[in-house]
Amino acid sequence: LVATGVGAKTYRRIRFILIQNRAGKTRLAKWYMQFDDDEKQKLIEEVHAVVTVRDAKHTNFVEFRNFKIIYRRYAGLYFCICVDVTDNNLAYLEGIHNFVEVLNEYFHNVCELDLVFNFYKVYTVVDEMFLAGEIRETSQTKVLKQLLMLQSLE
Amino acid sequence: MPAVSKGDGMRGLAVFISDIRNCKSKEAEIKRINKELANIRSKFKGDKALDGYSKKKYVCKLLFIFLLGHDIDFGHMEAVNLLSSNKYTEKQIGYLFISVLVNSNSDLISLINNAIKNDLSSRNPTFMNLALHCIANVGSREMAEAFAAEVPRILVAGDTMDSVKQSAALCLLRLNRTSPDLVPMGEWTTRVVHLLNDQHLGVVTAATSLITTLAQKSPEDFKTSVSLAVARLSRIVSSASTDLQDYTYYFVAAPWLSVKLLRLLQCYPPPEDGAIRGRLTECLETILNKAQEPPKSKKVQHSNAKNAVLFEAISLIIHHDSEPTLLVRACNQLGQFLQHRETNLRYLALESMCTLASSEFSHEAVKTHIETVINALKSERDVSVRQRAVDLLYAMCDRSNAKQIVAEMLSYLETADYSIREEIVLKVAILAEKYAVDYTWYVDTILNLIRFAGDYVSDEVWYRVIQIVINRDEVQGYAAKTVFEALQAPACHENLVKVGGYILGEFGNLIAGDSRSSPLIQFDLLHSKFHLCTVPTRALLLSAYIKFINLFPEVKGTIQVVLRSDSQLRNADVELQQRAVEYLRLSCIASTDILATVLEEMPPFPERESSILAKLKRKKGPGNLHPDLDENRKERSVNGGTADHSSTTSNAKVLLLSCVVYLLEPPIPLLSGVYISYFSMLVFLVFASPTTSTDLLGLGSTIATQNSAPPASKGASLLVDVFSGNTAAFPVATPVAVGPVADENFSRFVCKNNGVLYENQLLQIGLKSEFRQNLGRMYVFFGNKTSTQFMNFAASVPADPTVDGGAQLQQILNIECVSDFVDAPVLNIQFRYGGTLQNIAVKLPITLNKFFQPTEMTSLDFFQRWKQLGAPQQEVQNIFKARHSMDTEVTKAKIMGFGAALLDGVDPNPFNFVGAGVIHTKTTQVGCLLRLEPNTQAQMYRLTLRTSRDTVSQRLCDLLSEQF
């Protein structure tokens, strides 16, 4: 997370998406940059450490190495997106919420266990909405229509 | 358990996950997992062919186990098999497994690529999307090679489904990022731009990302996107909130797409076409107007989405920096946010205003918010918000408000979080210097910094205050008085002792007339702090004492007693001992005249960029500051009286050495070998034109070194060109023919920095050197092996003209690598021994690899870069016979000594060595990869160098080949 991509100041994109619970268990990790496994583990722990100490009076943004984390807490789950420092905070903050509303609709009142037992479906939802570190589709209607179509396939 | 109850999942998987969740301990979990792995392994190995469902289930279990953090070393083949299933659910699990457990296992890659190829040509949009997502997720070089031509075709084909277009656009974006060389622009580019007109807003969203990335790389090719983006944005912004249906989010029309379009426009200057420009201004005005309208919903989602667009619009306005009205409106809007109840908005407003402060149109408008920002500094609960407030105060600071801002920052410093103290210290130091009208204020400010946050005052800060005091006569007396007073405090920070010692040593005489600060009182005050200080500070104080002996002959006796004490003369620290011995001798034997010359007031420092500013930039790190802002600050700092040394050195391939010599006149009789080193000349050897020599002392120069540098103003201050071009020419007035250049030991120094460079029956030359990035420092020791004195001794430049028998003389060379080079500089030595003139020329072991900084990288990174550096001229290879025994440990040590990071476990063959690093020159940095393949049977090596520059590859290969 140091050398690569830092020089290119104007490139903005998502570096990774993490869903973690308060205990630090990862419920989804989606990487849009090359990291080795040790580095991923380190990032997961660091993100957990910086995000969980913050309270409701704090912003939803936190500087993280040369990047920043945009995060939002839903019950016991933290949804975190790591982006470049010049990226649009509020767009990602609502990007998270849009994603959560889709999950909620798709799993009918989503809870943490849905993400555990259906982890392979969560990846599909993510790929529908975020791809290659970019926002792919923002219409909940369109995403859900596509997901239902896929659900009906064998 | 929702998945199971829905009845559409894999029951076995759900049971397994439940089991894992019910495990009470880590051990139980591992046991359960091992049981499952054994089960799956036996199923995969079994005679009975597994049906698709079972295969999918087991692969999915393996994936789950992997995601729990356990290694998976089988099942890849089964996953690849799933790719060719014609059932979506099976294919999906196969692709997911491949995407998560990417493996550069070559036999599988071709199978995977084959499956992807089939799916891409299947005309089944679901399968095509799975394949495209896999490429976008993995993005490997192999995939780029296989599909770089196919993906653009799918993207622009007339009959491609919308959702496939979206995936294809982002897939292409990913390939362009990882392997831009494989994705050449083609006739598809114009058609991609027209996707901005697409009916489907999802397609436009994906295409905008792609176009933005491509436009950053080649703006000219995508220029037409500006008018299309403006048109699209205009339609979105002016639409009624329900027009866009699916793309309206909490009453905001297509917020994410708007943000992306505004971002795309930031790749370009304001549109030249008046009509387009007018339309864009209208859009921006509409967005600003909407911020003032009453919200259509009380939900935070509504305001966030609306403000996401607003902030991006403000970014564009700042980027254009051409419409004063818009800039001021933006500033007013942000001003409202500064007092908003949402912390997020206050934070973002501070951040955004920081960039507005650097625009000449809005700087004044930003300044009107100073009270609010100061208030934020005092009252915000979130440290990151306070940090932004500090940034903004720093950005809005100018001559009119500097005193207020510096005072506020200073008072905040006392309670500031530890994490941001150092940065505030740096900022205060910079502002105080930049906007100082009278320097007494500056001195007070810095001393306050040390008082309030001494631990956070880095060396750069106190070096700087000394540089400024020395360079400005008018403040010297005040500085001496102020430090004297500050030192009265019973407990003062060590940094204050350093500043105090230095300043009183130089200018203590200016306050000595007052009986309250008589020389003896000054000395007693300094010495009362001595024993509590660390070694470097004590060393500095000793230098101050010897300066006192010169300034105040009346305290000479007192100081000599101190220097003579056992705790000094026999100090365990060699530096302190040496200083005490040398200073004591100096004070005993040197005449008043000589003392006055040696210990004269320091000459003014050359003006250069404030090292504090450089430090702040380093601290913030690349990417942490808004790029535009950063640029702006650089310019401003130049206005602020600091020098910019970007002198061109493009033709510096030829080593042009210049030396600045400070000569003492008359020569000091040398009686003891020990203290010669103190008087040895400081020679600056620069690999560039003489103008850059001022750069050399740079940040790293310590006061100790400067202290021991004899004054340049008196005596002979020579600027001598030692070499012009590559030929060695002797600079002394009587040129002498130079004999053959000795380089026997040269290659020994390629992988190490210390040792004996040259030795004959008379003279021994030792070296100690250190290198950091493109700078280096070399200590050259000349040892007289005989018992008689060398006369007229000169090394490259006229050095101390005598070297006593058995004595040693030391020279310091400061080195800067300007660009890559082959030839090493030659050191010429000339002296008279027993009536005969001796000439010795020795090649100095300054080689390109000295400017290596090791780089650690993973195997994946290594081979990715290795492939990127695949052009024929970038690679240099040498196959050679081993000259030494082929010992693994020795080889490792040599590669590390060479300067590269030795990368373990990167090469699949454990007997090979691979290394990586970056060569730093003043102008560029060259990434270097190396691979050494020993063949013990044949006693041969094969060495391969790949760097981005052919000359570097060649030179490094030559240098390293000689080592084995």
Identify the sign of the CA torsion B542, B546, B552, B553.
positive
Query: Is A62 an interface residue toward B (CB < 8 Å)?
Result: yes
Q: What is d(CA B265, CA B316) in angstroms, rounded to the nearest whole number? A: 7
Write out the two tokens for A108.
């009918």
Q: What is d(CA B911, CA B30) in angstroms, rounded to the nearest whole number? A: 34
CA distances from A74 to A97, B132, B190, B637 (A): 9, 31, 43, 46
A59 contacts B384? CB cut-off 8 A? yes
Residues B513/B474, Cβ–Cβ less than 8 Å: no
Residue B436 CB neighbours (<10 A)? 22
Query: Is A21 an interface residue toward B (CB < 8 Å)?
Result: no
Tokens 């101390």 -> residue: B800
Phi and psi for B928 in degrees, rounded to 5?
A: -130, 135
Write out the two tokens for A5.
């991509």
A136 contacts B170? CB cut-off 8 A? yes
Is residue B483 exposed (0-12), middle (13-18) or buried (19+ Cβ within 10 Å)? buried
Task: Give ipTM to 2 decimals.
Answer: 0.95
Query: Is A38 an interface residue toward B (CB < 8 Å)?
Result: no
**Which of A67, A126, A135 best tests the B interface by mutation, with the highest count of B CBs <10 A?**
A135
Predicted confidence at residue B622, as pLDDT, reads 43
- The separation between CA B541 and the C-alpha centre of its own chain, rounded to angstroms, equals 34
pTM for the model stands at 0.68
| Cα-based angle B36, B95, A42 (whole degrees, multiple of 5) | 70
Residues B722/B655, Cβ–Cβ less than 8 Å: no
Please list every residue in chain B whose beta carbon sits closer than 8 Å to the beta carbon of residue A138. 202, 205, 247, 249, 254-257
Pick from A9, A123, A150: which is nearest to B88 by CB? A150
Is B249 annotated as ligand-binding?
Answer: no
Write out the two tokens for A70.
């945009």
Please list every residue in chain B whose beta carbon sits closer than 8 Å to the beta carbon of residue A8. 216
Question: How does pLDDT run across A107-139, given as a tens digit for each residue?
Answer: 999 999 999 999 999 999 999 999 999 999 999
Is B57 annotated as ligand-binding?
Answer: yes
Query: Is A75 an interface residue toward B (CB < 8 Å)?
Result: no
Residue B894 CB neighbours (<10 A)? 20
Instruction: Find residue B945's DSSP bridge partners.
Output: B876, B930
Question: How does pLDDT run across B334-379, given as a tens digit for each residue?
Answer: 999 999 999 999 999 999 999 999 888 999 999 999 999 999 999 9
Please list every residue in chain B whose beta carbon sits closer than 8 Å to the beta carbon of residue A86. 623, 626-627
Residues B488/B528, Cβ–Cβ less than 8 Å: no
Phi and psi for B424 in degrees, rounded to 5?
A: -65, -40
Residue A154 CB neighbours (<10 A)? 10
Q: Which residue type does B321 have?
A: D
Mean pLDDT by 10 residues, chain B (964 residues): 49 95 95 96 90 94 94 92 95 95 75 96 96 95 93 94 97 93 87 95 97 92 96 93 84 96 96 96 97 94 97 96 94 96 96 92 94 94 92 95 95 87 91 90 93 88 90 93 94 93 95 94 96 93 94 94 91 90 91 87 76 73 36 32 29 22 25 26 26 29 31 29 28 42 81 83 83 81 76 58 62 79 80 78 85 85 83 86 85 87 83 89 86 87 89 89 86
Write out the two tokens for B350.
């501070």
Residues B435/B399, Cβ–Cβ less than 8 Å: yes
CA distances from B258 to B19, B199, B230, B354, B462 (A): 47, 15, 10, 23, 49
Nearest chain B residue to A44 by CA distance is B69
Q: What is d(CA A120, CA B8) in angstroms, rounded to the nearest whole number? A: 13
Tell me which residues of chain A, numbers 111 to 140, contact chain B at a CB-CB cutoff of 8 Å.
111, 113-114, 116-120, 123-124, 127, 131-140
In what helix (H) or strand (E) does residue B814 lie, and over which residues does it extend? Answer: strand B808-816
Tokens 């979080």 -> residue: B417
Predicted confidence at residue B18, as pLDDT, reads 95
Is B58 annotated as ligand-binding?
Answer: yes
Question: How does pLDDT run across A76-99, given as a tens digit for each residue?
Answer: 999 999 999 999 999 999 999 999
Phi and psi for B537 in degrees, rounded to 5?
A: -70, -40
B173 contacts A134? CB cut-off 8 A? yes
Please list every residue in chain A whose beta carbon sits closer than 8 Å to the beta carbon of residue B347. 59, 61
Predicted confidence at residue B804, as pLDDT, reads 59
Q: What is d(CA B678, CA B709) in angstroms, rounded to the nearest whole number? A: 9
Please list every residue in chain B whose beta carbon sits closer than 8 Å to the beta carbon of residue A43. none
Predicted confidence at residue B760, as pLDDT, reads 82
Give the 3-state secondary structure of residue B776.
strand
For residue A128, the distance in angstroms to the closest alpha carbon of chain B comes to 9
Predicted confidence at residue B603, as pLDDT, reads 84
Predicted confidence at residue B796, as pLDDT, reads 61
Give the 3-state secondary structure of residue B818.
coil
Give the 3-state secondary structure of residue B575.
helix
Give the 3-state secondary structure of residue B425.
helix
For residue A59, the distance in angstroms to the closest alpha carbon of chain B comes to 5
Please list every residue in chain A whose beta carbon sits closer than 8 Å to the beta carbon of residue B855. 3
For residue A28, the distance in angstroms to the closest alpha carbon of chain B comes to 9
Residue B838 CB neighbours (<10 A)? 17
Pick from B99, B171, B860: which is nearest to A132 by CB? B171
